[in-house]
DNA sequence: TGCAATGCCTTGAACTTCGAGGTAATATGG
DNA sequence: CCATATTACCTCGAAGTTCAAGGCATTGCA
């Protein structure tokens, strides 16, 4: 048989990557994350709440985040922090992304296998 | 109302980008493209035939590719070439990808808005 | 003869994301 | 003082992709 591909959805995990990246830098809450992604990428990337909240819940369920409730100005917010598990996961996703982006970059520039970019 | 996001699936168009990139360099057929992507990215990216063939058909339908049948060693192959329309589309997808990758890269490195990378 | 590789193709399940909607509290402005 | 916008949480269905597997036919090799 022809060799079969085993590629668990090569483009996934980017929203998760972005969320973890932000939370690694500072504690944040959902609504804030949505806008931080939008503003820090100059609106090039704009994921909606329908993406961010499920990601947060999933990461918390997996022990990658911890949540604590805080009330500021009478507004109830849920702040998330990265756990060691989350740090590990971030490093992992980050590596994957770099690999992927580098591979695509090489394709675009016509570069071949072990080509250095000086 | 809170500002709504308008983001037609920000991670899409990568398989199309890869296919067009390869075909811009040289005429190729479907089966060959599948393996070229695999080998040139050192198996970091491995899209299956179930992705490539629909992409080829779609691009041809849109006038971005032309197909011609050729028989080599008794094997019937369909070679695809990029049309001017396809070149334009490639340039477009390429720009989008660079934008996206740069934005994510900035997030990862903690870089802020108009930060230069010297 | 049988199995692997070449080469085309389609399809169903699984997964993500989008877009919209729902709830509730606090500012703001006319 | 009341209507609207903003903050802040959440969920869900529709739409779109990708994956994995399968089918078909031919050629090469042991």
Neighboring chain A residues of B21 at a CB cutoff of 8 Å: 107-108
Is A65 or B116 the better-scoring residue by pLDDT?
A65
Q: Where are the domains of chain A?
A: 14-100
* CA proximity to A20, closest of A101, A112, A96, A118: A96
State pLDDT tens for residues B39-95: 999 999 999 999 999 999 999 999 999 999 999 988 999 999 999 999 999 999 999
State pLDDT tens for residues B14-48: 999 999 999 999 999 999 999 999 999 999 999 99
Residue A3 pLDDT greater than 50, yes or no: no
Residue B115 pLDDT greater than 50, yes or no: no
**A99 neighbors B43 (Cβ within 8 angstroms):** no
What pLDDT is stored for residue B38 in this prediction? 94
User: Which nucleotide is at minimal CA–C1' distance from A51?
Assistant: C17
CB contact under 8 A, A42 and B110: no
Of B42, B47, B107, the CB nearest to A18: B107
What pLDDT is stored for residue A51 in this prediction? 96
Q: Which residues contact B115 (CB under 8 A, 6 or more apart)?
A: B106
User: Which nucleotide is at minimal CA–C1' distance from A8?
Assistant: D19
What pLDDT is stored for residue A10 in this prediction? 81
Residue A113 pLDDT greater than 80, yes or no: no
B54 touches strand C (CB under 7 A): yes
Please provide the size of chain B in residues. Answer: 118
**A59 neighbors A85 (Cβ within 8 angstroms):** no
pLDDT, mean of residues A12-23? 95
What pLDDT is stored for residue A8 in this prediction? 63
Domain B14-106 class, CATH top level: mainly alpha
Give the span between the Cα atoms of A32 and A37, in whole angstroms: 9
State the ipTM, two decimals: 0.87
What pLDDT is stored for residue B5 in this prediction? 40
A14-100: CATH topology: Arc Repressor Mutant, subunit A (1.10.10)
CB contact under 8 A, A106 and B47: no
* CA proximity to A91, closest of A37, A9, A16, A6: A16
State pLDDT tens for residues A86-111: 999 999 999 999 999 999 999 999 76
What pLDDT is stored for residue B45 in this prediction? 94
Weakest mean pLDDT among A11-20, A67-76, B104-113: B104-113
* CA proximity to B101, closest of A116, A110, A43, A102: A102
Q: What is the three-class DSSP state of A44? A: coil
Q: Which of A6, A8, A24, A45 to mutate to test the interface with B (most CBs of B within 10 A)?
A: A45
């Amino acid at each position: 048989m022809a060799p079969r591909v085993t590629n668990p959805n090569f483009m996934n995990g980017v929203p998760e990557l972005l969320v973890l990246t932000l939370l690694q830098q500072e504690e944040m809450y959902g609504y804030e994350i949505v806008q931080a992604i939008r503003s820090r990428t100059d609106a090039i990337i704009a994921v909606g709440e329908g993406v961010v909240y499920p990601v947060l819940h999933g990461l918390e369920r997996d022990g990658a985040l911890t949540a604590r409730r805080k009330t500021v100005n009478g507004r109830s917010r849920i702040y998330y922090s990265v756990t060691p598990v989350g740090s590990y996961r971030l490093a992992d996703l980050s590596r994957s992304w770099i690999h992927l982006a580098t591979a695509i970059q090489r394709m675009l520039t016509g570069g071949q296998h072990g080509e250095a970019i000086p």
